[in-house]
Structure 1
Amino acid sequence: MPTMRLQTLSLRALLFLGLWHTGRRSLASAPELQEQPKKIAVVGAGIGGAATAYYLRQEFGPGVKIDVFEDGSVGGRLATVKIGDYEYETGGSVIHPLNLHMKHFVDKLGIPQRKDVPSKMAIFDGKHILFEESDWFIVNFFRMLWRYGLNFLRMQMWVETVLDKFMRIYQYQQFGYSFSTVERLLHAMGGDSFLTLMNQTLEEAMMGEGFSQVFINDIVAPITRVNYGQSVRINGFVGAVSLAGADSGLWAVDGGNKKVCSGLLYNSKSELIPARVTSISVKVRPSKRGTPVSLYEISYVDQSGAAHSLYDIVIVATPLHRGKSDITFSGFSPPIPSHYPGHYHQTVATLVHGLLNVSYLGTTEAASEFTVSDVLTTDSNGSIINSLSSLDPVHIPKGYKRPPASQANVWKVFSKKPLSQEQLENMFLSYDSVSETKWLAYPAYHPPHRKTPPFILHNRLYYLNAVEWAASAMEMSAIAARNVALLAHHHWHEQKSKIDQEDLHTRLRGEL
């Protein structure tokens, strides 16, 4: 997604980057207390499910059979569409430089990063452009200083403080620690401050830190709108994640971010089962030792019809919310709901190949002089779109240059509702291709925070997407994948000392 760019990175966070590459943990070779499971199922092959399969293989070794069920395309909400001769991202499109799991994945899989194409940003209030980025940093700095004082620099420092605490999770996971709930995971990273952010809006959090309302309306709101399609009344934690996505150094995968998912599945040596899971039930069976053991029966429908299979461990890596899945759970006490409270927010991604009408943005510049690539919008009644971006292909060919606004190009429009023909004709002087994707992309974030769904649904049944109710992002899914893989391992081998430990930040200082 298009974003603004901050200019600094945390030194402490960069030290963690070095830590991540020098000491990754693998438990598959550690002494085990009992034999490994025979079969594990993962439901969903998006970035969360694919990363889960990868980490399960690390934790349980080569002997376990891992099946991954996916009814749609591998990649889930990481998807591309072909327009003309090129493919373009329609889903999650950028990755933060401190997303250490995603960085590890591409390094491990040998997937190159996409070539960077310089971009420029503008803020649109529905009638006029409030701010247009210059090619010169010093010009941008003084423009921001004149209009917003030191708010912009203070936002960088505030986000960096949150990032420094966020980065602790990599240290904990390196040493094999896991958490049974989203709240415990957040508290381990940021203490009470992260839980406080979950219970207030981003606007309230920033006003409490002394940021001006004008700055929040003009700068912060456009960032949350482009990243989550929602206003500054989202919770403060996901708001901070959104602002971190306005950092410098954002990158993407050459050929499309979904390649990470297929690469992780291949690396995990898991079997992809193209099928729709309809139900999960618990079954009690006798074991070799004579004591009863609980197994999980997955019922599914594939091209051949209905079928079912038994597993020792199951990880659900698809949202259990209305409109996202209809998996039923039977035989569990207490009962497991098919749908948890809350709903997913709709964002419509419309890709248009056409000639932009720059006057729609309230500018008098000639199209040949309009060099803005990313237009973010304020939360005003006049804004029918969340953002408008000139798209580059997922693979940048040699000699590629982004076409100027005076030439036809592919533009991505994010909006809450599908665009009408009249709206498209207002935005574009002409167009020859329109591709529309309706995403239930992320939860609707409405603080105060209610308790998130648990990571642990039953003894050896786990729910990865609980983490989305803190913040939905590729890296958050990867963190949750590592967490549930560790939980599954520790529960199987009864290593309770590695689950829900308090004060890890202080305790682990001496181990670094």
Structure 2
Amino acid sequence: MSLSNLSVKALLVLGICQVGRRSLTSASEPPKKIAVIGAGIGGSSAAYFLRQEFGPSVKIDVYEAGTVGGRLATENVKGHDYETGGSVIHPLNLHMKHFVDRLGLSVRTNVPSKMAIFNGKELTFEESDWFIVNFLRMLWRYGLNSIRMHMWVEGILDKFMRIYQYQQFGYSFSSVEQLLHAMGGDGFLTLLNQTLEEAMLADGFSQVFINDIVTAITRVNYGQSVRLSAFVGAVSLAGADSGLWAVDGGNKRVCSGLLYNSKAELIQARVTAVSTKTRPSKSGTVANFYEVNYIGDSGPAHSLYDIVVVATPLHQGLSDINFSGFSPPIPSHFPGLYHQTVATLVLGRLNVSYLGTNVKPADIVVSEILTTDNEALAINSLSLLDPISIPLDYNRPPAGESKVWKIFSPKPLSEEQLGAIFESRERVWVKPWLAYPSYTPPQRRMPPFILHDRLFYLNAIEWAASCMEMSALAARNVALLAHHRWHGQTAKINQEDLHTRLRGEL
């Protein structure tokens, strides 16, 4: 898949994405009120797309108990803000690119960086300034595995990109499995039910390459080894591509910008329950609503809505929303566990001997240290951070000064462990994240997008893969589902063989 083809595809889809709300093909009245529970990237994207689908008259309320942005978060260290949550965006994430353009945001200035791989004893690979040197090193040790990996990921991305065309034409899907099948057929469903290691070995990749390179990538991106599902593993490998970018001023600015653009009302409150309610209408029929109960600064309250979108994980430790009056019952918690990753920011000086090297600190030029799967290792990765806004005259601190480092680890690090990694520490900040599901194939049946007639669950998508763009794709899908179900447009839901059909039309 050439870069020229990708850029044409991106421009085409972005141009179409900027078209406003489609005209309604049904004579039914639009809903009066819609609730979105959660103001992370999924919830804020949902508010934006719901506004596109239902027009200016509908009132959209977005409930958020914490801060806007959810798992997109920053921390201030010594006068500068640094990303602590989702930090990079792939160049083919077309919804995120559209959001940045639509909201008038800009891409953060790129600061050159180098990567190394640490096995717990020594650095087994260090990136060079020279592409040809890196290429020859990889070729000498791993043969053509590195090139084949990029081709393997590109083949998956080429099918993945179909979803933008489907959404452009208004097609939606009621389950994650149906959405994935529309993208990549049975092959994508197979990727859910085998490990990344199994899939890559079956395609002829060497075990050494998987252990040394692929494992290091999955550990930094998802905190899990190559025994996670092959689909999310492919998403993780795509996150190692070149051209990754971030939003100037922090990725969470996208969320606040989408809420503002959607003209949604932000309600700072914790939702406790959602239930069904009926009210007689003037015509003598019975109208059905959803009652959202919540607790805000003024105490308990409730409000009625025509449509509700849940954009927060319905899993143990992440939500306690009670669903009452539904038949069949809706569980408060779906099966499965979220994987803990602890983000530790340290303002300090690195102890280079920890990396098994005797070179001077000034000679350590790598800024991203990935790790192999070693039980003795307490960390998944170690990264030198740059601020979320890069001044024109920005230079990283010299070797002798303290820098801001971010460590990903499965558990909080002890004083002894931090003391081994750093010569000195001025400040330490710790944030445990239940950042993404524990991806253990074979994949059980995923939660549905549709919980009830007009009650939708956006975060079902995370059980295929969790990242900003997947949440945005799910938000678009749920907004289309809500529109089609409200107006009775069932022909736009769960259609098969869309790729062949639309290719013929174009």
TM-score range, shorter chain: over 0.9
Q: State how far apart, in whole Å, the 1-side matches of 2:376 and 2:467 are.
A: 28
Q: State how far apart, in whole Å, the 2-side matches of 1:185 and 1:11 are.
A: 27
Q: State how far apart, in whole Å, the 2-side matches of 1:53 and 1:104 are.
A: 15
Match of 2:323 in 1: 329
Q: Which of these residues, 468, 473, 488, is aligned with residue 479 of structure 1?
A: 473
Q: Does 1:62 align with 2:56?
A: yes
Q: Does 1:390 align with 2:387?
A: no
Match of 1:209 in 2: 203
Tell me the CA shift for residue 9 of structure 1. Answer: 5.7
Supply the AA of the counterpart residue of 1:39.
Answer: K
Match of 2:416 in 1: 422
Identity across aligned pairs (percent)? Answer: 70
Q: State how far apart, in whole Å, the 2-side matches of 1:368 and 1:27 are.
A: 55
Residue aligned with 2:288, SS: strand
TM-score by length of 1: 0.97
Q: Does 1:497 align with 2:463?
A: no
Q: Does 1:22 align with 2:12?
A: no
1:221-232 to structure 2, matched below 5 A, reads: 221-232=215-226
Q: State how far apart, in whole Å, the 2-side matches of 1:120 and 1:248 are.
A: 12
Task: Give the total of aligned pairs.
Answer: 505
Match of 2:293 in 1: 299
Residue aligned with 2:359, SS: coil
- Aligned Cα root-mean-square deviation (Å): 1.1
Match of 2:93 in 1: 99
Q: State how far apart, in whole Å, the 2-side matches of 1:66 and 1:159 are.
A: 38
Q: State how far apart, in whole Å, the 2-side matches of 1:184 and 1:14 are.
A: 28
Is the contact between residue 128 and residue 361 of structure 1 (CA under 8 Å) also seen in structure 2? yes
Is the contact between residue 13 and residue 167 of structure 1 (CA under 8 Å) also seen in structure 2? no
Match of 1:150 in 2: 144
Is the contact between residue 14 and residue 94 of structure 2 (CA under 8 Å) also seen in structure 1? no
Is the contact between residue 115 and residue 254 of structure 1 (CA under 8 Å) also seen in structure 2? yes
Q: State how far apart, in whole Å, the 2-side matches of 1:466 and 1:9 are.
A: 32
Q: Which of these residues, 159, 165, 186, is aligned with residue 171 of structure 1?
A: 165
Q: Which of these residues, 191, 194, 199, is aligned with residue 200 of structure 1?
A: 194
Give structure 1 stretches of 5+ with no counterpart: 1-7
Q: Does 1:436 align with 2:430?
A: yes
Q: State how far apart, in whole Å, the 2-side matches of 1:27 and 1:50 are.
A: 17
Match of 1:108 in 2: 102
Deviations 1:113-149 (A, max 9, x none): 1000000000000111010000000000000000000
Q: Does 1:73 align with 2:62?
A: no
Is the contact between residue 308 and residue 455 of structure 2 (CA under 8 Å) also seen in structure 1? yes
Tell me the CA shift for residue 474 of structure 1. Answer: 0.2
Match of 1:36 in 2: 30
Deviations 1:449-502 (A, max 9, x none): 111000000000000000000000000000000000000000000000000000
Supply the AA of the counterpart residue of 1:211.
Answer: F
Match of 2:350 in 1: 356
Q: State how far apart, in whole Å, the 2-side matches of 1:493 and 1:107 are.
A: 30
Q: State how far apart, in whole Å, the 2-side matches of 1:233 and 1:314 are.
A: 36
Match of 2:214 in 1: 220
Supply the AA of the counterpart residue of 1:245.
Answer: G
Tell me the CA shift for residue 397 of structure 1. Answer: 1.2
Match of 1:346 in 2: 340
Residue aligned with 1:275, SS: strand
Q: Which of these residues, 368, 377, 381, is aligned with residue 371 of structure 2?
A: 377
Tell me the CA shift for residue 231 of structure 1. Answer: 0.5
Match of 1:407 in 2: 401
Match of 1:280 in 2: 274
TM-score by length of 2: 0.98
